[in-house]
Amino acid sequence: MERQNNIVIIGGTACGPKAAARARRCDPQARITIVEQGEDLSTATCGLPYYVSGVIDSQNDLVVRRHDFFRNVMNMQVLTRTKALAIKRKAHEVESLNLETNRVSTIAYDKLVLATGSIPVMPNLEGRDLRGIFTLAKIKDANAIRNLISPREIKRVVILGAGLIGLEMAEAFVSRGLGVTVIEALDWVLPGLLDFEVAAYIERHLRGKGVNLLLRQRVLGFEGDGNGWVRKVTTSDGELETNLVLLALGGRPDTKLAQDAELTIGSTGGISVNQYLQTSDPDIYAGGDCIENINRITKQKVLAPLGSTANKHGRVIGTNVSGGRETFPGVLSTATVKVFDYNVACVGLSESQAREAGYDVVTCLVPGYEYATYYPNGKEILVKLVAEKSDNRLLGGQVVGPGETAKRVDVLATALAFGATVNDLANLDLAYAPPYSSALDPLHNAANVIRNKQLGYAKALTPMEVKNKLDNGDDFFLLDVRSPAEWGTCRIEATQARLLPLRELRARLNELPKDGEIVTFCQTSVRAYQAQRILNGAGFDSVKFMDGSIAAWPYETLETRSC
């Protein structure tokens, strides 16, 4: 009789249960044990902000699979409220502690899976142990926050960190009627995902929703009242009164068990694994937030703390601990987040990340609509593409706005996974009907803008380059080719700015200096590019258009209504 495979999995949130379920399907005879120090398995922690806001009413909705499913349907041993204390590699045993009885025992394994997740980053600041300072990693954290804000005695909240959780929780707190301040030490929101001009698009929306954004500020400490509750946050720029603080500074891989067992830890701080998700011990696998991944573009090691990635890891591990040889190719850092009425999505490298990695890049900023402009109620989106200049290979993309963004980034993720070029993207056979898209999707348009730049037809300056020219007092024409009505309601206020509508441009060429520098802009760059080509054809050599034009302008405008 063939010996029974003994599989032990430490961690029961995402990667662990997925690995267990896959292993059971691959090996119906295996003995599988899940060790989890919490009370529940398979919890949807990504839904916690929506539970705090009340969009998700019951915490039970966040438990994807119950204990009895794993015990009865999947025939596994489930040890909840049990903490793994140590891995004894030579003996192939895990030492564990039952948190209810304080009984220590050992569990034998043939294959061991580490799915220990991550630990919220806790700043070493004075006052961090005051009551009312929270992280958000587990259902119990969300319950504690809900219990504090539900009586509506809390008025003000300070969030440290403008990443995914920080912005999701800003919306959750505002929906609960609280005054919200978000403090970010770096220069813009979602700094690990977006470039400045795209982030600025989100920042305007956040401020419009009443969120107080404090960027480029460091938190120095917390002060409490006489009862030990936090009441003040001290920053590099002053003090803020508050009733609650949320630490949304990200997480670090929980590698204590792995380190104590002398498994290799990578340069990112995550557990080092090979393509089969094996650690430096071939009988121990690891996945989820606790490991480091390969970036499929740069081939560098990165952390990828996402539930989607953890579930993919789980499937690969479940296959391999059952005798398979499946590989995990790495990540593209695909992410999406809802920020009030805006949808934010990105994939691959941002422009700043690509330049830091040594790529010579070409980019574009293309405002557009989620579907055909003549179909009613279409919403705006802004697309930024990043490509390698030498061969037009796509490196990344960002799509933001009130319109549909996730499906565009899913297209880009697929394209990046297969090494697509801008030319490939421009000719993708995407689904088209007026309620769903335009005849040329915004992704097609963005790809064609880069193609035109590479061919030398489109010559552009970024909004930041134009702003620098204005700030430096450069002598050039900032030519607004929109209509007088558009100029009258929203415009860039500068001595260099001048209105010359596109439909009048050919008749009024003599009003412009042929030897002078001209930068054209409009609402979305379509007319601005056309103006640039008209002027080039008429012998004006020093002409560029502003990428994204006023729809992507991340600075103040003079306006009587929204641009």
Domains assigned to the chain: 6-117+252-320 (3.50.50.60), 133-249 (3.50.50.60), 341-455 (3.30.390.30), 460-559 (3.40.250.10)
Beta strands in 354-432 (DSSP E): 361-369, 380-388, 394-401
State the catalytic residue, choosing from 46, 490, 522, 563: 46
For the cut 60, the answer to whether the pLDDT of residue 348 exceeds it is yes
Beta strands in 64-188 (DSSP E): 77-79, 82-88, 93-98, 104-108, 111-114, 118-120, 133-134, 156-160, 179-184
Q: What pLDDT does 408 receive?
A: 97
Q: What pLDDT does 500 receive?
A: 97
What average pLDDT does the segment 36-51 reach?
91
* CA–CA distance, 244 with 224 (Å, rounded to integer): 11
| Coil, strand or helix at 418 | coil
Q: What pLDDT does 151 receive?
A: 77
Write the CA distances from 142 to 50, 128, 148, 253, integer angstroms. 10, 18, 10, 21
The confidence band for 73, taking pLDDT boundaries of 50, 70 and 90, is confident
Q: What is the pLDDT of residues 380-396, one digit of tens each?
A: 999 999 999 999 999 99
Q: What is the pLDDT of residues 447-490, one digit of tens each?
A: 999 999 999 999 999 999 999 999 999 999 999 999 999 999 99
Judged by average pLDDT, the poorest of 27-41, 52-66, 215-229, 475-489 is 52-66
Q: What is the pLDDT of residues 81-116, one digit of tens each?
A: 999 999 999 999 999 999 999 999 999 999 999 999
Q: Which contiguous run of DSSP H or E holds residue 223?
A: strand 219-224
For the cut 80, the answer to whether the pLDDT of residue 562 exceeds it is no
How many Cβ atoms sit within 10 Å of the Cβ of residue 208?
A: 12
Q: What is the pLDDT of residues 121-137, one digit of tens each?
A: 999 999 999 999 999 99
For the cut 60, the answer to whether the pLDDT of residue 561 exceeds it is no
What average pLDDT does the segment 44-71 reach?
88
Give the whole-number percent of the chain exceeding pLDDT 70.
99
* CA–CA distance, 418 with 348 (Å, rounded to integer): 12
For the chain, the average pLDDT equals 95
Q: What pLDDT does 3 receive?
A: 76
The answer to whether residue 522 is catalytic is no
For the cut 70, the answer to whether the pLDDT of residue 2 exceeds it is no
What average pLDDT does the segment 489-501 reach?
95
